[in-house]
Chains A and B, each alone.
Chain A
Amino acid sequence: MYSDYASLRAWAEGEVQRTRPPDRTRILIGLGTCGIAAGGLDVLTALREKLADMRVPAEIVPVGCIGMCFEEPLVDIVRPGEPRICYAKVTPKSVPTILEEHLLHNNVRKDLAFAVIGDEPYDGIPSWKQLPFFATQRRTVLRNCGFIDPESVAEYIVHDGYAALAKALFEMTPESVIEEVKRSGLRGRGGAGFPTGMKWEFCRKSPGDHKYIICNADEGDPGAFMNRSVLEGDPHSVLEGLLIAAYAIGADHGYIYCRAEYPLAIVRLRKALEQARALGLLGEHIFGTDFSFDVTIKEGAGAFVCGEETALMASIEGKRGMPRPRPPFPAQKGLWGQPTNINNVETLNNIPPIILNGADWFAAVGTEKSKGTKTFALTGKIANSGLIEVPLGMPLREIIFEIGGGIPKGKKFKAAQTGGPSGGCIPSSMLDIPVDYESLTAAGSIMGSGGLVVMDEDNCMVDVARFFLSFTQSESCGKCIPCRLGTKRMLEILERITRGEGQEGDIELLLELCETVKLGSLCGLGQTAPNPVLTTIRYFRDEYEAHIKEHRCPAKVCKALITYRISEEKCTGCTLCARNCPVGAISGERKKVHVIDPAVCTRCDTCRQVCNFDAVLVE
């Protein structure tokens, strides 16, 4: 138990010295979900075996995701007095070479090393800050991800962790904390963009016996993993943000509502809570002050609508996760009928640096109305797929073509989808828009939580609209009629269009339904569900018309509107396609042109993918 920050910090520094002596080599390995999925655990085993074999003393430190998912698994080696050298796409096979060369022969192989994670280049290896992927990024939320061991509270403290909490408790009143957050201009990072300081003030001023604070970690937006990476890579920063928010609004209990699909995030959060309790940073009389606060983790059970505040609270109370009308707002009558404040993971993660560095520091970045930085999960048809953080207001083009490295395989950019099922598709003619709350809303999309899915010429926009609608329709809780029936009817029309059975007037009917669902729905899910349809009609109306009038899918995606054929000129009769066809639709003798029976073909695309001669054509 510590009653001042200096002694806590001294403990942490001693702890880090003891567990990670500076005269020992450290090997950092990215073991977030993406690193593990890319084979990180096999690499870890290989590292352990090789180190034991070489009898070289070195510390293996598992770290969170640095954002370069496209280069995973990542292994970094730091020798005493030397910079941190990062190796990308490491496999169990390349581990022995890397370790022997680097540790035994003092030979940092330029051909194997990827970058220096430090300010200066080293021996011809570029600094990560020189790489196009990182050069224009600005890491506030991701400040610790990939740099500290997420399971070590001491490392977090040594990186200024819990200093903001101490500052808030010892030097600031709850009101001045709220004032600082208000002045910073921070807006909710969960999607809606409501000013955070104002939200806190409402809750603080609301009368109630108890007040609650909830961290919304129910990142259900398909195609987004920003919160997952932060929870896995830097759980204490979220907890610190939650503690400061609780102090500011006067809450005595908090909940972290995390989706069950993120098991690693939940494990790390639990560990963080235990560590914080053991240090007196959570529980009774935090830092020896009168401020007492504790946290419970609640696992979601797979319902997208629970990202909505009132539905989330219903779920915590053990009910069906259905939203209710507002007012009363959660700040007035929330969880168990008490004033409640709900913030997204990334919003809370921004709080410690704001308190520590001041509102002006934070507000210096971004645009007039959108301050600070924003993380994005950059995915889809993009060369550098990963987690990024950029100043708000950066042009979309810069994000996609400089940081993201453009579209792979020489394909053409078609659209960028932001905001998930609640957002919209932004076409290439609008690539220069600044990415901030206002500009994205004006374009018919929303900022959302930070999913940014890139699509190329091979993606059908009608199919994309149908995809999102099928998601929102199945996730609609069914409480209000516009959402329950409206999304169902819209989905039926879109399915009909993609089957080639579209009718004259379908587009107009869709637009009319969009308007009704948008205006009439009870919660954000229904109010925003039409956005993918509205934006694809607005920017890609010709594709809808091609489906409806010509029964043609220009991107060759919609199965009912395409046929597979084998080119007589290109087919060599190798029989590979016929052998791989799962339904036996391909016939032909060895060394003779093969033929696909369109009546049997299920358009599964296997033949086209296995063909070595590009002989399978889609028409």
Chain B
Amino acid sequence: MNDKLREVLQAPVTGKGDLIPLLQKAQEAEGYVSEEAIYAIAEKLRIPASEVFGVLSFYAQFRLRPMGKHNVKICRGTACHVRGSPLIVTAVESELKLGGGEDTTSDGLFTVEKIACFGACSLAPVMVVNGRTYGNLSPDKARRLIRKIAEEEHV
């Protein structure tokens, strides 16, 4: 358990209504919700771990596996869709050789997530890489962006 998670678990709680905020903070601390965190939260709120798992698996935000070093979020909102985001997804996934539902590269460098909508629709299609937004993308631009990060990693 890392220090950040320990800190999250030490804060006072009032009841079951704190479950989702706790999960959010745990994920912030570790980058994902670990098995350890699930049991610790269950104990803290005095509810079964199965209930914690039931809630976290319902919400798209929570992940059960560690995040890659670089986080790529591709917007799949309507405006992005009509302006070609399916092609961006194909380009990024083929560049990183991701397929079959995998979202993280085997070397742990990249995690690619598809997000319902960022609300930056006027810049569609949009992709957010490590917190920075890139708009008006083409498949080629997206591919080059990813390639550049990968190349910097391998220098």
Contacts and interface: CB of A to CB of B under 8 A. Distances in A.
A429 interface: no
Given A222-B77, A379-B122, A464 B117 contact: no
Interface string A43-70: 0000000000000000000000000011
Contacts of A604: 87, 90-91, 94, 139
A70 B126 CA distance: 14
B59 A609 contact: no
A380 B139 contact: no
Nearest to B141: A609
B53 to A, nearest CB: 11
A333 interface: no
Interface in B83-119: 83-84, 87, 90-91, 94-95, 115-119
Contacts of B12: none
A316 B76 CA distance: 26
Interface string A553-581: 00000000000000000000000000010
B20 interface: yes
A299 B116 contact: no
A317 B55 CA distance: 11
Given A222-B117, A301-B60, A386 B122 contact: yes
Interface string B52-88: 0011001111100000000000001111011110010
Interface string A601-612: 010111001100
A70 B122 contact: yes
A344 interface: no
Interface string A180-207: 0000000000000000000000000000
Nearest to A35: B120
Contacts of A451: 78
B138 interface: yes
Contacts of A320: 54-55, 58
Interface stretch (A149-157, A223-231, A348-356): A223-231
B17 A316 contact: yes
Given A320-B58, A420-B78, A582-B91, A222 B138 contact: no
A602 B78 contact: no
Nearest to A299: B24
B19 interface: yes
B111 to A, nearest CB: 15
A380 B83 contact: yes
Interface in A465-496: 467-468, 471, 477
How large, as a class, is the contact surface on chain A?
A: 35 or more
Interface string B32-69: 00000000000000000000001100111110000000
- Size bin of chain B's contact surface: 35 or more
A361 to B, nearest CB: 31
A224 B120 CA distance: 9
Nearest to A386: B122
A70 to B, nearest CB: 6
Contact of B119 (A70, A219, A455): A219
A261 B61 CA distance: 9
A301 B87 contact: no
A305 to B, nearest CB: 9
Given A222-B77, A604-B91, A609-B138, A33 B119 contact: yes
Nearest to A459: B82
B6 interface: no
B124 interface: yes
Interface in A279-329: 298-304, 315-322
B123 interface: yes
Given A380-B83, A604-B139, A606-B91, A385 B121 contact: yes
A417 B140 contact: no
Residue from B54, B76, B122 having most chain A Cβ neighbours under 10 A: B122
Interface string A151-177: 000000000000000000000000000
A322 to B, nearest CB: 8
Given A225-B117, A301-B24, 16 more contacts: A33-B118, A37-B120, A37-B126, A223-B78, A261-B116, A298-B21, A299-B20, A301-B20, A301-B59, A380-B79, A380-B124, A453-B121, A468-B78, A580-B140, A583-B94, A606-B91
26 contacts: A36-B133, A37-B135, A38-B135, A219-B119, A222-B116, A223-B77, A223-B78, A224-B117, A224-B121, A299-B20, A301-B23, A302-B59, A317-B17, A318-B19, A318-B20, A379-B78, A379-B79, A380-B78, A380-B82, A381-B82, A471-B116, A582-B95, A604-B139, A605-B87, A605-B139, A606-B140
Identify the 4 closest CB pairs spanning chains A and B, nearest first: A223-B78, A225-B119, A69-B122, A302-B60
